[in-house]
Amino acid sequence: MTFDYRSSVSIGELCIYSSALIIGIFLAARPGFGRNWGWFYLILFCLARIIGPAMQLSTLHGSPRASIYEGYAILNNVAISPLELVILGTLNRLLDSIHKTYNTFLRTFMLQIIQVVVVLGLILGVVGGVRAGNSFEEGNASGQHVFHPGPLGKAGSILLISCYVAIVIITALLSIFKSHLEAGETRLLLAVVLSLPFLLVRLIYTGFSTFSYNPKFNILDGDTTIFLCVALIEELIIVIIFEVTWLTLRRQVKEQHNKARRQIDSSNGSDPTQPKRGKSTGQIALGFAKATIFGHLVMLFVNRSHARSGVEMQARRA
């Protein structure tokens, strides 16, 4: 095969999602992000968007196996599920934040049920894609690259579409209680709301590629411009929304930590507005003395003298 338009798009995916993967790992490793298990799925999505284009580019050399096309098609079809899991992870964090100050009728197990359905849709998409590879091999022998998901693949897509509807409902209900969110968490809700329209467009493309026999939506040799504008760009916008939001959220978390620390300092009697001074000469000398044997003996004698003075003072008061 020759280098074509789709191969150029694949190279762009490799470059962009390699950077997104590094940012995702960096953010997931930072303190304060452990409550959002959705980052694990964002990293998986970036990996899928790296492995898939790599498979497509590998078809340019020699006579590629049908399994390469099959893997590329499966990764494109099921890539929507990690994005839904990212949103569910963010909604889970928002729900925990609300429940710290206000008890709602929404419960974590509701999100967990949706998560299980998304994972089930992912499994059905993979199994259905593997079974659809048999019909692809026959088409490949005739020189055509055609991939039509079977009943299991279609069932997986239906589950993912149904989960999107459930995510929209949960997001709308959480928005009612947004006034009870912790400071800085509102931007996470905004990130979810902004990502939902792009996720809807991506699901529309999934629906056409799964249930339609229109060659323009063929996941392998379909119209590359449609694939780029209706699927890939939407996915990238969602990733950018969440990564940028979490970068700014980290700054907000740090500011809250500093504010809490200042409040603790002020409650201890120190002035938080005054800059911290360096150690005095006496403190430095005292620290040096404690580090020597002679210093330990002197400090032991001083401590005993203070203890005797305290006992004498208590005896006089009695």
Q: What is the mean pLDDT of the chain?
A: 78
Question: Which pLDDT score is estimated for 314?
Answer: 53
Question: Which pLDDT score is estimated for 289?
Answer: 46
Question: Which pLDDT score is estimated for 17?
Answer: 95
Residue 209, exposed/middle/buried by CB under 10 A (0-12, 13-18, 19+)?
A: buried
| Segment 90-100, tens digit of pLDDT | 999 899 989 98
Between 184 and 53, whose confidence is greater? 53
pLDDT at 208 over 60: yes
From the candidate CATH numbers 1.10.240.10, 1.20.1070.10, 1.10.760.10, 2.40.30.10, the one assigned to the domain spanning 5-265: 1.20.1070.10
The CA-based angle 46-47-51, given to 5 degrees, is 120
Amino acid 167 reads I
pLDDT band at 230 (very low <50, low <70, confident <90, very high): very high
d(CA 172, CA 162): 16
181 three-class SS = coil
pLDDT band at 68 (very low <50, low <70, confident <90, very high): confident
Question: Which pLDDT score is estimated for 266?
Answer: 55
For the chain, domain boundaries: 5-265, 286-317
List the structure tokens of 55: 């498979």
pLDDT at 6 over 60: yes
Question: Which pLDDT score is estimated for 259?
Answer: 52
pLDDT band at 159 (very low <50, low <70, confident <90, very high): very high
Beta-carbon neighbour count of residue 21 at 10 Å?
19
Between 291 and 205, whose confidence is greater? 205
Residue 216 DSSP code: G
Q: Which whole number is the average pLDDT over 26-48?
A: 76
Question: Which pLDDT score is estimated for 284?
Answer: 43
**In this structure, are residues 21 and 50 in contact, taking their beta carbons and an 8 Å threshold?**
yes
Question: Which pLDDT score is estimated for 117?
Answer: 96
pLDDT at 253 over 50: no
